[in-house]
Amino acid sequence: MAGRILIYDGIAANRIVLRCKLSAACYTVIQADSYADLRRRAMDDPVDLVICDLDAAPHRALALCRALCGQLPALRVPVVLLASDPAPALRIAAFGAGAWALLRKPLHDDLLLATLRQVLRQAHGVRETVQQRASVAELGFAEPARSYVAPRRSAALVAHDQVRADAAAQQLRGRLSAVDLHALTPDRALSLGDRARAPDTYVILSEPARWQQDLRLVSDLHSRTGSRDARILMVQHGAPGADPVADGDMAMRAAMALDLGADDVLFGDVHLSELAIRMEQQAARKQFVDTLRRTLRNGIEMAARDPLTGLYNRRYAVPRLDRMLDSAQERGAPLALMALDLDRFKAVNDTHGHGAGDAVLVEVARRLAAALRPRDLIARSGGEEFWIALPDTGPAEAATTAQALCRLIRSSPVPLPARGGLLRVTVSIGVAVAGPAAVAPTLDGLLARADRALYAAKADGRDKVTFASHAA
């Protein structure tokens, strides 16, 4: 089934008709017989969406909407409201109460179903991101809670006529004081969409004669790197006083826009306060999801990082090294692998304490990482040991790099914490190079060769670089 939808209309016949339409679209439909019944069912039963009639008792419907939608972190279920004659004041009150959509009765079938699909996509996106964030937290990889100052929001008013875009932006500035507004033509909107910091929200002021171009603009904006996750609202203008339900073409255009990726569609000469609140609503959802995604990415990154040095850990490094080795073999290119170990590190801990040992590890990791190329891999494999992988690097270049790393660590003593003075540190490095061979080397074999070379460097007096013999 496509989802569970809880519905209520004050007229029983309307509930039956709505249930039939939704059941035909493969939704599971649950009917409530009053506002109180709707609230109880919505609170007790897991449903994906609520459709509620505004006509019978607007104040009760709005109160129910506030209770169910609430703030995004506590979202229970999105609510779509229905009204026979939604005046501007009622529409503003509905969206102010958190409604995700408001549809005029009698319902246009295609517009109804397209609206439900869009609302469910948005709500599922919010819920999935919240669940993923919770899973990361349960695994212990979430960052501790900290304050985050979100960047200032920005929005673009897009029209084929620059004068019209400028006028709309000017009218909205008094109602969106905390938002940077841009007035753009479609070409300019697409060029901004290629930038990393594109507007958060686009409002397309559509024209009947150019609606196909405007639909393409929706798809194009979602295909650009910067505007891929932006929220898009389309204001559909028809004939003066046109009713989107009576005007079948207008409703069909709106349905197509929603299915192509528009997040909201408004009709005709919409009240500026309503447009502003719907822009704010979409921007708030985007910002909420962006924050959750960022936290999720950081949590996943933490799972791959050593918490002390910030380098990749062994769990991440092993499969990454495997892929690097496979790539080198496919291209017939060499791959140099270093096993690096701090000399006499146990004595550092025994003499100066584990705090000093941690400081040494952090500083050595910092120096090593800063000296390598962006495409190189460095990981803390355990204790005082590190792995360094250098793609497209043969023996001569690997020897030069390894000697340079030894000098880098040797040349400057490490400052110890709590004014503990300076400590001279050295490293030993074992190097194994995988080159084109009749029999492809395995990662385990390459690591074993690098380890044997490291032990040889230790046995030869430390602070040395030793190369592994060729694989048999």
Catalytic sites, residue numbers: 384
Q: How far, in Å, CA of 251 to CA of 244, rounded?
A: 5
Q: How far, in Å, CA of 343 to CA of 355, rounded?
A: 17
Reduce the DSSP state of residue 342 to 3 states and report it: strand
- Neighbouring C-beta atoms of residue 249, cutoff 10 Å: 12
56 CB-near residues (< 8 Å, 6+ apart): 9, 10, 35
Reduce the DSSP state of residue 193 to 3 states and report it: helix
Q: Which residues of 285-309 are buried (b: 16+ CB within 10 A; e: fewer)?
A: bbbbbeebeebbeebeebeebbeeb
Q: Which residues of 140-172 are buried (b: 16+ CB within 10 A; e: fewer)?
A: ebbeeeeeeeeeebbbbbbbbeeebbeebbeeb
Helices 443-459 and 314-331, axial angle in degrees (round to 10) = 110
Q: How far, in Å, CA of 185 to CA of 165, rounded?
A: 8
212 CB-near residues (< 8 Å, 6+ apart): none
Q: How far, in Å, CA of 9 to CA of 107, rounded?
A: 12
N- to C-terminal Cα distance for the chain? Answer: 60
Structure tokens at 257: 């826009």
C-alpha torsion 314→317→319→323, nearest 10? -160
Q: How far, in Å, CA of 200 to CA of 185, rounded?
A: 16
- Residue keyed to tokens 């030069």: 400
Residue 306: C-alpha distances to residues 37, 339, 451 (Å): 53, 17, 21
Structure tokens at 237: 């203008």
Partnered with residue 49 across adjacent β-strands are 5
Cβ atoms of 395 and 467 within 8 Å: the answer is yes
Q: Which of 352, 405, 355 is nearest to 378 (CA)?
A: 405
The pairing of beta strand 465-467 with beta strand 427-434: parallel
